[in-house]
Every structure is written in C-alpha cells, then in structure tokens.
Amino acid sequence: MIAIVDYGVGNLFSLSSSLRALGQQTEITRDPERVRAADRMILPGVGAFGDAKAKLDATGLVPVLRAEAERKPLLGICLGMQLLFDKSFEYGEHVGLGLIPGQVTDLRQGLGDPTLKVPHMGWNSLEILRQDPIFRYFRDGEYVYYVHSFYATGCTGNTLAVSQYGAASVTGVVRSGHVYGTQFHPEKSGDAGLRLLKAFSEL
C-alpha cells in the first residue's frame, strides 16, 4: 500500500487517481499507524513552504516520516520535495525535514533573464544526470510538468535529473537513500509521469 500523506496541502485526488490507474493500492491518510503500515509513502504539496511545514508539524507525522524513511521509499512531490531539504528561504527562513542536504531558494536569482516568467509553469524536458531505478521506464529528455517559484540548490551530490530554465539548472529529481523528490508533478506529466510513478511503486 502507498500512503499519501494528507496534511492539508496537495492535489491528493489526481495523485491517488494516477496511482490507482497503475493498479496500486493507495490510502490518503494522516494516521501515523497507517503511514507505518504502508510499503511506500508520498508527500505531496502545493503552496508556501512555511505554511505547509507548520501544517505538517501539526499532524505529528514529522518524526514518523523521518523514522519510516530510513527503511522504505518516500517520494516528495513539488512543495513536498522542497520540504525534504534542510531549509527554505521562501518569505523568510524555514527549517525543513532535513532528509536531503540542501536548501530552497528563489528561482528568480538563478534565471539570468528578468523577462522569464516566474512561477516556472509548464512542460520542460528532463535531463537524467545519474541512472537510478526511478528512471526504469523513463527516457532521457522526456517532458514533465512544473509549477514552482522556488527550487532546490546546494544538492548537487543528490541530484539525479535537472531541467533547464534560463540560466538555472532546475533540480528536477533528487535522492538520498530511500528518499526521493520530484520538483515537477508526475501525476500531471502524462504518460511519462505515470511511468515514473510506476517505477517508484516498484522500488
């Protein structure tokens, strides 16, 4: 069973629907025991980092996620991926889960072109830097769907794939141990995204 963590932010329905289309048993939950019972965990997220982290803290699931991530796969999606890092500088400075070394910074600082729109919204090709089981059914250069204004930096050693937007190499996929993150939304990325979710469900 894949536990989709419900902490009040995230497109839970489309993610759950995508996983069920792949034949995966899923459960949207904030129950610590159900998270512990799951084979895999997904941390979705949309919105602002500080608000999302406060809501996640309020569920009491942070120590559960940290402990469970030591023994089974966890996938953070979009803001859920950003929460995996040490800290974020989105409207202040906020402490993350510390599961992947690095920080989340303003995308505008890395673009090198003030005419480029932020948020970075739409389809972009994904360049695989390191082969990994998460790419079992995914081809280098396939297009995925992004919606974000901040991105992960200082995480080169854990970066599996990037997308280019202006001068910024947007961190697209990261991994540290059992912990994965995608800045893009696989559940909104058509067949390519479904194939990536399929690979995650087989880890």
Helix axis angle for 12-21 and 190-201, nearest 10°, is: 70
For 85, residues 6+ apart whose C-beta sits below 8 A from its C-beta are: 96, 97, 98, 99, 100, 101, 102, 103, 104, 152, 155
Measure Cα distances from 165 to 111, 143, 180 in Å: 7, 13, 22
Q: Which of 68, 78, 90, 155 is catalytic?
A: 78
**Of these residues, 94, 148, 187, 202, which one is catalytic?**
187
Of 77, 106, 87, 102, residue with least CA distance to 153: 102
What is the chain's percent helix, strand, coil content, to nearest 5? 30, 35, 35
**185 noted as active-site residue:** yes
Cα 106 to Cα 149: distance, rounded to the nearest angstrom: 6
Among residues 27, 90, 185, 202, the one annotated as catalytic is: 185
Residues taking part in catalysis: 78, 185, 187
